Amino acid sequence: MARTHTILRKHIAMKTLRLLLGDQLNPEHSWFKTVREDVVYVMAEMRQETDYAPHHIQKVVAFFAAMRHFAKERIADGHRVRYYELTDPENPQTLPELVKKMLGEEGCESFEYLLPDEYRLDQQLKTLCQDLEIPARSYDTEHFYTTRDALAVHFEGKKQLVMESFYRMMRKKHGILYKDGAPTGGTWNYDAQNRKKWKGSPAIPEVTQPHQEDLGPILRQIQESGIRTIGQIDLQNFHWTITTREARTLLAEFCERLLPYFGDYQDAMHTDEKNLFHSRLSFAMNCKLISPREVVETVETYYYNHPDTIHISQAEGFIRQILGWREYMRGIYWKEMPAYARGNFLENKNPLPAFYWTGQTQMNCLKQAITQSLEDAHAHHIQRLMITGNFALLTQVDPDAVDQWYLGIYPDAIEWVQLPNTRGMSQFADGGIVGTKPYISSANYIRKMSNYCETCAYNPDHKTGERACPFNALYWNFLDAKKEQLRANPRMGMMYRLLEKKDKSEMDALKERAAAIIANPDAF
Ligand code: FAD
Ligand code: SF4
């Protein structure tokens, strides 16, 4: 009698390793919709990430705190997560070593990762995947409105990549502040109404301190590891949102309390009110705890539901920053990298003044913006552009040095967004890809938009002489020094006509003073 054998074949699914980077903390990602036994996630606090630039201590703490929370939440949801803290002796500290170690230990037969937003990591992961002898696959982070190449496609065949054109396309495509074939309120852009000086009123409402938990253990690990950081930290006053829940609370409070005046005072600066009406959502968004879609749609809905308190210029002024500028900068980055990181159109070579690391200068605007950056790890857009960025450009600092400073000092600084803002918009090192002309100003603009000049050691009205505001001589000297590169720019025509009207003796005096400042900025 023939014996029949029943072969029971137990189906063993192929085990997969999934990598999550520190800025890929998107709890809504489709990866987390189902708990899979055949998937193990890996996250690690790595020296390769803490050491590629000197970061602000608050930035390192915020990232690690957000990562630890994210891992805990996923574990609580039932996912399997291997997490390496910074000081774990088993932590390989580099990405390739981490992935290889995990693949071996977990016996994984495939590797998956989310597309990184930085070119550096993108290259590293591609190289790693070529070395692996198992299948590897990348997935979208499901965070941005656009794909990496959407901007390049939008501007295909065009000479100029004008943000406004991209922004209008985004408004139409996503139906944001756009109804019945027209922009809400009848106008696309209310930038002209976003330039009020803040003079002590309206009062700036308090926003809840987002984070209460003890971050002492993380701070101690960073200190014990000897990581080189910059700036200060006060754990009793730590204001970075490190969970999605905190980010949503901040967004709700922003709509209720700050949005009514956000647009009006978007460009204002003040010694007593560092944050004014800004949202401080950039860190939470950049590590993907909250999506730009959620932020934009929440603000849009709030605007439609509160026509008596929110004017279109406030809502549009805010939405433009995210739906417009943020997505645009990302598109520029992916279109232009890696050459973009080397651009130095104006051939600037000077070192960054030492006071950028201490705040010790008599120039009050710089002192305020830099001290605030060191103490709070934050400065808003106009402080970054028209104070620290403006001075670096006028003193013709090497854009590599400027990039290093901006990349480290703010928790929201991740290269995809930092680089086009710094190298492009602020330093014009891209020769006009992001901005049609350099963002430079003399003391006039700073006095108009802030109260900094009122308590400054220098006089904003004076152009030469010991007490003359350094920005004045530097401004005219810059135009003169960069004539060859900028004179033909149609948007600079008026500035050059004014420059050409100056008589020689005035120009000589301005250039002499500028040369003294550039030679020793730390003496001013
Ligand atoms: P809000 O004023 O409340 O604006 C809301 C949101 O709009 C921000 O959270 C941010 O996500 C977005 N946004 C506003 N302006 C820009 C912009 N120009 N590009 C991209 N997104 C924008 N932003 C970063 O996120 N990371 C950076 O590394 C960075 N570096 C900068 C460097 C320079 C020289 C300059 C001029 C700007 C830089 N910015 C950067 C843009 C801007 O300064 C910050 O996004 C903003 O100050 C963050 O604070 P907030 O969340 O309170 O912004
Ligand atoms: Fe800055 Fe000049 Fe005004 Fe002083 S006077 S705060 S240096 S712009």
| Ligand nearest the Cα atom of residue 276 | 1
> Mutation test of ligand 1: which of 381, 384, 441 has the most ligand atoms closer than 8 Å to its C-beta?
381
Closest-CA residue, ligand 2 atom 1, reads: 365
Q: Is the CB of 456 under 6 A from ligand 2?
A: yes
Predicted pLDDT of residue 10: 43
> Alpha carbon 112 to chain centroid distance?
27
Q: Ligand 1: which residue has its CA nearest to atom 40?
A: 418
The token duo for 402 is: 């400027």
49-69 pLDDT, tens digit each:
999 999 999 999 999 999 999
Ligand 1, atom nearest to 412 Cα: 26
Residue with tokens 């800004």: 278
Residue 378 confidence (pLDDT): 96
Tell me which residue of 427, 268, 456, 232 sits closest to 342, measured CA to CA: 427
* Whether 471 contacts 441, CB under 8 Å: yes
- Ligand 2 contacts CB of residue 387 (under 6 A): no
Q: How many CB atoms lie within 10 A of CB 228?
A: 10
Average pLDDT, the chain: 95
- Local structure of residue 115 (DSSP, 8 states): P
- Tokens 């120009």 label which residue? 507
Residues 53, 373: Cα–Cα separation, whole Å: 16
* Atom 50 (ligand 1) nearest CA: 280
DSSP sequence for 166-187: HHHHHHHHHTTTEETTEEGGG-
At 3 the pLDDT is: 46
- The pTM of the full predicted model, rounded to 2 decimals, is 0.95
Q: Is the C-beta atom of 468 inside 6 A of ligand 2?
A: no
Burial class (CB in 10 A: 0-12, 13-18, 19+), 459: middle
Q: Is 329 in the pocket of ligand 1 (CB under 6 A)?
A: yes
Å from CA of 96 to ligand 2 middle: 48
Closest CA to 287 of 20, 23, 21, 71: 23
| List of residues 6+ apart from 431 with CB closer than 8 A | 343, 345, 485
| pLDDT recorded at residue 212 | 72
Give the pLDDT confidence of 17-28 residue by residue, as tens digits: 999 999 999 999
At 89-134, the pLDDT tens digits run: 999 999 999 999 999 999 999 999 999 999 999 999 999 999 999 9
Ligand 2 contacts CB of residue 370 (under 6 A) = no
- Residue 82 DSSP SS3: strand
**What integer pLDDT is reported at residue 12 of this predicted model?**
55
The pLDDT value given to residue 209: 75
